[in-house]
Chains A and B, each alone.
Chain A
Amino acid sequence: MSMQAWKILASAAAVAFTAAAGPALAADPIKIGSFLSATGPASFLGDPEKKVLEKYVAEYNKAGGVAGRKIELVLYDDAGAADKASSFVKRLIENDKVDLIIGGSTTGTTMAAVPLVEAAGMPFVSLAGAVVIVEPVKKWVFKTPHTDRMAAEKIFADMKKKGITKYAMISENAGFGKSGHDETLKVQANYGMTLVADETYAPKDPDVTAQLTKIKNTAGVQAVINWGFGQSPAVVTKNYKQLGVAAPLYQSHGVASKDYIKLAGDASEGVRLPAAGLVVADQLPATDMQKAVCAKFQKEYQADFKAEASTFAGHAFDGLQMALAAISRAGSTDKAKVRDEIEKTSGYIGTGGTVHMSATDHMGLNLSAFHMVEIKKGDFALSD
């Protein structure tokens, strides 16, 4: 991609520092550290995140870096294990002496890093979903993805519109599924919802018809929510169709990628889920400020990796942009200043929505960042 094209796509903040770059100074590079679950059970998240960080750091460097300094990315693969993550975070802080950390694909790996970055005073942008990461607010910790609680709220809001009050839940007994399950239970009362059947399964289970049969035979189930990612939601969706369960099926934002539709095939027809603007970028109204950002990102990602960008790829993109913009505004890599600038991020338009951070909100997204989509004819269709 040419430097020209890059400038156009970059958000307002990015443009500001690209312009300020000018002739490269012989300064030390900005060191960005990262630990991601690029392999292992959460590679679904970590792999696209890694691709995005590597790609865009290279892009920034081609464009002259940030504030005249090149960017150096130090990236480790924690394979989804929290103890490996904490070792790598120590390595990033103590040995690589990075200026800022973007990473933590899962809530477990993120929470392993939190005490370390807090103690070291290291700005940290997490790419994981759970609410606990930013609630209560931790001084040095920020996150880019929507929370699973927001996804649950979005689903409930949609159910409420349809007059549904009793629902069943089937969730994966691993990090994402468990956390989504728990957050759903926490907010159900706000929407007047009652859980009538609660089932789980293991991430690699080849068949979940036993659990779904139980749900099917439970009286009064008006809708079913599935929490999980990877292959399991596709297995659930297929089995759901095979059993001919009549109630509508809701998936989480964890399946918001074309891979899910490809795997589940026709069975995914009619499934509803909350998703970031990224997956329906072309359907957003022209007035939606996210439209251009998402479309550009999607196009570039596909050009490089021959696959559709998932929302997880988008989280890494947003994290990198916000972090570099903050460094640019701070005019240095002084950790305290960079932290303050990240906290002042306001009006950044990313793939996940428009971000307004504050001292009390280290995520800065609200429910409007989510769209309700329905799968129609093998594609996501906006259905707000």
Chain B
Amino acid sequence: MLSAFLQFLISGVTVGAIYALCGLGFSIIYNASHVINFAQGEFIMIGAMTAVSLVEAGVPMPLAILLAILVTMAVGVLLEKLAVEPARKASVTTLIIITIGASIFLRGLAQEVWDKNFHKMDPFSGDTPINLFGAVLMPQTLWVLGTALLVILLLAWFFNRTLEGKAMLATSFNPLAAQLMGINTKRVLMLSFGLSAALGAVGGIVITPITFTAYDNGIMLGLKGFSAAVLGGLGNGFGAVAGGLIVGIAEAMAAGYLSSAYKDAVAFVIILLVLVFLPNGLFGRKGTERV
């Protein structure tokens, strides 16, 4: 049953690439601030919903995508300015509650700005399945994978080669020292929210032809993205992608060979086991964080 195995694997990679893209957003904010943003899923949803509604209104797709990314970035920066920065000195738990509040708020807003219906977007390059040794692969999956890959490369370049990126890493490592070195840490925090919002929007848009979108789609994607980021090791972009793929493939293999009812549970059991043996995730290291 090689073709069946291959099909499970493709299904897992498709789902995993979606989780990976969602997980990357968590990683960036964590890198800059050690904040976990539980409204990351809402960035994904806002990006997708904005793009979909613009396309429905007749805006050409590339322009709609660009506008959607900008809108989501604006939401991300606003969230940072209005909610996260004023509470910068609060405890991690308090910040978690603030971002959870933000996610409820944004979801509620989305339900009023748009509606409670599901929306679709056409695949970027058609929906003719590609046949691979008896298994089928949808072209959109390649888009999702390619986007994830591109994002990692861009992030690696950004964090290692640009001043802004280095400032971000420095801030994450030691905010006080970074400030003393003349880095504007407030700006870095704002930048990280803008960047991860943009990333969320990109992810949300690329996956919509597969998953559809609705005002409450951010919950599940945020949860799985968080799982992926933690499994891979927080703050590690490559880890988030690996984590996402592992969760996705574990789910698909569990559905294929064990029980589809328990596929999500299997994924969480794997995460728990990994954490027991590697308390900082697969690729997370204490102290020096690099992408």
Contact = CB atoms under 8 A, between A and B. Distances in A.
Indicate whether A and B are direct neighbours in the complex (CB within 8 Å): yes
B217 to A, nearest CB: 7
B271 to A, nearest CB: 16
Interface in A127-158: none
Nearest to A170: B260
B212 A242 contact: no
A213 B129 contact: no
B7 A213 contact: yes
B212 A209 contact: no
* Chain A interface size range: 35 or more
Nearest to B252: A210
Contacts of A209: 7, 10-11, 14, 136, 252
Interface of B is mostly: helix
A210 B120 contact: no
A213 B256 CA distance: 8
Interface stretch (A182-190, A195-203, A286-294): A195-203
A39 interface: yes
* Chain B interface size range: 35 or more
Interface in B125-148: 127, 129, 136, 138
A41 to B, nearest CB: 7
A2 interface: no
Interface in A239-253: 242-244
Contacts of B263: 202, 210
A44 B111 CA distance: 13
A206 interface: yes
Nearest to A234: B212
Interface stretch (A90-98, A257-265, A313-321): A257-265
Contacts of A165: none
A235 interface: yes
Given A211-B260, A213-B11, A206 B120 contact: no
Interface string B209-228: 01110101101100000000
B57 interface: no
A202 B264 contact: yes
A244 B211 CA distance: 19
Contact of A262 (B120, B138, B253): B120
Contacts of B214: 231
B255 A211 contact: yes
B87 interface: no
Interface of B: 1, 4, 7-8, 10-12, 14-15, 18, 111, 116-118, 120, 127, 129, 136, 138, 207, 210-212, 214, 216-217, 219-220, 251-253, 255-256, 260-261, 263-264
30 contacts: A43-B216, A44-B116, A199-B255, A200-B260, A200-B261, A204-B217, A204-B220, A206-B14, A206-B210, A207-B211, A209-B10, A209-B252, A210-B8, A210-B260, A210-B263, A211-B255, A211-B260, A213-B7, A213-B8, A214-B4, A231-B211, A231-B214, A234-B118, A234-B212, A235-B212, A242-B129, A259-B118, A263-B118, A263-B120, A307-B117
